[in-house]
Chain A
Amino acid sequence: MDVENSVTFDPRPECGATFRFPVTWSYLTEVPHQARPTPGSDHVNSNQATPLPSPPTSVKPTPAASAVPVLMPAQKPAQTLKSSEPRASGPEATWEMVIPKMARPNAARPPRALEQPARRVTQLSARPDTAGTEAAVMTPTEVSFYTGSEASFVPRRLKVVSLSVAVVVVGCVIALVRPGGEAESASGSAPTAAGTWSRRTAYVVGAKTPRDILVYSGSEDVKNYRIEFSWVPDTSGVGWIFRGTDSANYYAANLRLIQAGATPSISAEHFAVVKGVEGAHSRKVITLGRTRGQVLVRMDANGPAFTLYLQGSPADYWTDVRFEAGSLGFYGERGERPVLQALRFTFFRKSGLQTVVTTLQ
């Protein structure tokens, strides 16, 4: 190694070398790599004197996923209720009621690994015959019919039989009460029609009331997308989920008005629910400029990065690698349905962009 020839050390015994770390910002005004002609308003072509900002970064390629994209659980909604009123545009959005999967992990046991939930559900999807066993493994809460007060009066086997009968009866009642149940059950493994909303109930460990989730079917396998809507700030707020693999694993964000006025302040929160355990909320208070009426909300999910825009300006940014793909939708607490307008999804698929304009009706 020819260091002696390439490096000249200071011969003075007291001197060594100095590493310098200047703070620079040539990137701020540099001409982007993707050179493009100046959109000159006048006749003379522009030169390089005025640097041009780079074109918008649309979708960065995400790292290759090691796991198969996880679909929503194969719980076929028993019924699809079509809206009675014709819709102006967009695919028909419907509400569906499904019986939630009661996979409620133990609150005292946090998720062991970040990627664990996705992998677990992947296994469930891949092996439907062992789903029940896996679910039992997945669910730390063990069901016991042997409570101390009852054990002395009723034999255990009889209790099991009676409870099984009760479950069958309840199931039959539900199937009979809900019209179209037979048709649905005939195609139980068929996926929900794309472009519809399915309503699910999500139980969160420690929460008193479940959370109603509206999942937009057709977004299960999409990794990168953009959610846009208009929202009139109110105290009840609007919440949405994204990268949802099932009703117990998803990211969520919400906006809520905390101070009304000419320049309203709103809180922006985001958090993750992993195996039914809701993680810490990251909260940010944002003061909007003079706003009358609606606020334009946009969120980009791009690989592990998520950016929230309010009125076209970036308001929050965070990264999370736990869920790589999954459905998007909205959620409401205490049965409240979010009120929003101009809802639009843009899916960045390998085959190209897909924009969906829809409503939450």
Chain B
Amino acid sequence: MTAPHGFRTSGFGAAAAAAPATGDLLQAALTLRSQGRFEEALDLLSGPGDFPADVYTLRGDLLTELGRYADAAGSYYTATVSAPRNLSVRSRLASCLRLLGRWEDASQAFQAVLQADPHRDAIRLELGDCLLRLNRPEQALNCLDQCWSDAAQRQAIFGKGVALQQLRRFGEAEIAYERVLALDGKAEEALANLIAMSLEVFDLERVQRYSRRLLEINPRSVPGLQGLTLVAVERGEMGAAARHFATLAEQAPEVLRSTRSSDGLDAPDDIGASDEIIEYRVNRKALDRMKELILGQPARPAARRY
């Protein structure tokens, strides 16, 4: 049996009457799960039989915790077959699809859940993520705009900021990010995106300001150190540039190693990231100059711009 999403279902068929020992089985699996013994709990639920949707749901949960998202999606799908009105299972299936990077399928699944229950902001946030990944910022903006709860406020505003940034409505995006920062002063990602946005319009004042704010929160922040370095380089303040660059090299040497070539560093796959990455390239001459200053060698006159 193959689900529309392409995953094999668990092969136990639709649940009808639960086996007599299903309750005990479920309880035992939950106990094992609470003890962190996920594999054993999964083994307990993996035998042949005709189980109710709850068992498949728990299997899906265990598989998700083990990082086996494809299997989990199959188990959840089986549960949706036997309990098509169970929104919780459907939302979990959608979440699995999202974790698998199946953005289109996941967005459709989330939209189906929201049609049945439009008050679930957590689902709306995940749908917003999928739409941003699908490069549909208008839809993402519309989706996140419908978030109504206080609990989702910070994240929804942040997502709207990202959508607005993708739409190049930078003024509105900046306001959104500032709102996030007013609600959560430690939202590093908002400041990092503000740095990227400011760099895109080459507003060095803003790059510097947001970089400083970011470094106040996290002195090891790579975007913050990069921002201050490039501002100093652009202004010909090579001493300051060398200091920031040295800190960057100390704090995150892997970043600089991977920037050796133009296709070096990409955002990790497990976080939302736009395909359009703003890059700033420091040429060899500037690098050599910074190296000299860091190592205390005699300095040559620095170029104003690179």
Give the interface of A toward B (CB within 8 A). 1-4, 6-10, 13-30, 40-57, 60, 302, 304-305, 312-314, 317, 319
Are the C-beta atoms of B281 and A16 separated by less than 8 Å?
yes
Interchain nearest-CB distance for B223 vs A (Å):
6
Q: Is B261 an interface residue (CB 8 A)?
A: yes
Report whether over half of chain B's contact residues are helix, strand or loop; otherwise say mixed. Answer: helix
Interchain nearest-CB distance for B36 vs A (Å):
12
Q: Which residue of A lies closest to B265 (CB)?
A: A20
Are the C-beta atoms of B153 and A45 separated by less than 8 Å?
no
Q: Which residue of A lies closest to B291 (CB)?
A: A3
Cβ-neighbour of A3 out of B89, B96, B126, B295 (below 8 A): B295
A304 to B178, CA, bound (A): 12
A144 to B133, CA, bound (A): 71
- Most chain B CB inside 10 Å of its own CB: which residue of A2, A17, A18: A17
Are the C-beta atoms of A3 and B294 separated by less than 8 Å?
yes
Query: Which of chain B's residues have a CB closer than 8 A to the CB of A44?
Result: 30, 54, 57-58, 61
Are the C-beta atoms of A15 and B260 separated by less than 8 Å?
yes
Cβ-neighbour of A56 out of B61, B151, B270 (below 8 A): B151
Query: Which of chain A's residues have a CB closer than 8 A to the CB of B152?
Result: 53
**Given that A4-B295, A21-B278 are contacting pairs, would A49 and B99 also be in contact in the complex, using a CB cutoff of 8 Å?**
yes
A3 to B30, CA, bound (A): 52
Are the C-beta atoms of B256 and A29 separated by less than 8 Å?
no
Interchain nearest-CB distance for B203 vs A (Å):
13
A44 to B286, CA, bound (A): 58
Q: Is B187 an interface residue (CB 8 A)?
A: yes
Are the C-beta atoms of B295 and A16 separated by less than 8 Å?
no
Q: Which residue of A lies closest to B59 (CB)?
A: A44
22 A-B pairs with CB atoms under 8 Å apart are: A3-B246, A9-B256, A15-B261, A16-B283, A21-B278, A22-B266, A22-B274, A24-B267, A27-B187, A28-B125, A29-B125, A29-B272, A42-B89, A43-B26, A44-B61, A45-B61, A49-B72, A50-B122, A51-B122, A53-B149, A56-B151, A319-B178
Query: Which of chain B's residues have a CB closer than 8 A to the CB of A304?
Result: 182
A55 to B183, CA, bound (A): 12
Given contacts A6-B256, A9-B260, A21-B196, 8 further A-B contacts (CB under 8 A): A19-B281, A28-B159, A41-B87, A42-B54, A42-B89, A49-B64, A49-B96, A53-B151
Are the C-beta atoms of A50 and B92 separated by less than 8 Å?
yes
Interchain nearest-CB distance for B266 vs A (Å):
8
Interchain nearest-CB distance for A12 vs B (Å):
8
**Interface digits, B242-257 against A, CB 8 Å rule (1 contact, 0 not)?**
0001100110010011
Q: Is B116 an interface residue (CB 8 A)?
A: no
Report whether over half of chain A's contact residues are helix, strand or loop; otherwise say mixed. Answer: loop
A50 to B166, CA, bound (A): 25
**Given that A27-B190, A29-B155, A312-B148 are contacting pairs, would A17 and B272 also be in contact in the complex, using a CB cutoff of 8 Å?**
no
A30 to B125, CA, bound (A): 10
Cβ-neighbour of B271 out of A18, A26, A302 (below 8 A): A26
Query: Which of chain B's residues have a CB closer than 8 A to the CB of A21?
Result: 192, 195-196, 199, 223, 226-227, 277-280
A55 to B150, CA, bound (A): 7
Query: Which of chain A's residues have a CB closer than 8 A to the CB of B54?
Result: 42-44
Interchain nearest-CB distance for A211 vs B (Å):
29
A20 to B33, CA, bound (A): 41
**Interface digits, B25-42 against A, CB 8 Å rule (1 contact, 0 not)?**
010001001000000000
Query: Which of chain A's residues have a CB closer than 8 A to the CB of B256?
Result: 6-9, 17
**Given that A4-B295, A27-B155, A53-B152 are contacting pairs, would A18 and B128 also be in contact in the complex, using a CB cutoff of 8 Å?**
no
Are the C-beta atoms of B229 and A23 separated by less than 8 Å?
no
- Most chain B CB inside 10 Å of its own CB: which residue of A23, A47, A52, A55: A23
Cβ-neighbour of A23 out of B166, B249, B261, B262 (below 8 A): B166
Are the C-beta atoms of B158 and A42 separated by less than 8 Å?
no
Cβ-neighbour of A17 out of B148, B166, B190, B287 (below 8 A): B287
Are the C-beta atoms of B88 and A42 separated by less than 8 Å?
yes
- Most chain B CB inside 10 Å of its own CB: which residue of A27, A42, A55: A27
| B112-160 interface (Cβ within 8 A of A) | 121-123, 125-126, 128-129, 132, 148-155, 157-159
Query: Which of chain B's residues have a CB closer than 8 A to the CB of A18?
Result: 259, 261-262, 264-265, 279-282
Q: Is B230 an interface residue (CB 8 A)?
A: yes
Cβ-neighbour of A28 out of B162, B165, B178 (below 8 A): B162
A312 to B148, CA, bound (A): 7
Are the C-beta atoms of A1 and B166 separated by less than 8 Å?
no
Are the C-beta atoms of A25 and B125 separated by less than 8 Å?
no
Q: Is B273 an interface residue (CB 8 A)?
A: yes
Closest A-B pairs by Cβ, 3 of them: A56-B150, A26-B271, A21-B196
**Interface digits, B216-237 against A, CB 8 Å rule (1 contact, 0 not)?**
0000000100110110000000
Q: Is B95 an interface residue (CB 8 A)?
A: yes
A8 to B256, CA, bound (A): 7
A16 to B183, CA, bound (A): 39
- Most chain B CB inside 10 Å of its own CB: which residue of A4, A24, A52: A24
Query: Which of chain B's residues have a CB closer than 8 A to the CB of A9?
Result: 256, 260, 287, 291
Are the C-beta atoms of B126 and A25 separated by less than 8 Å?
no
A256 to B185, CA, bound (A): 33
A54 to B121, CA, bound (A): 11
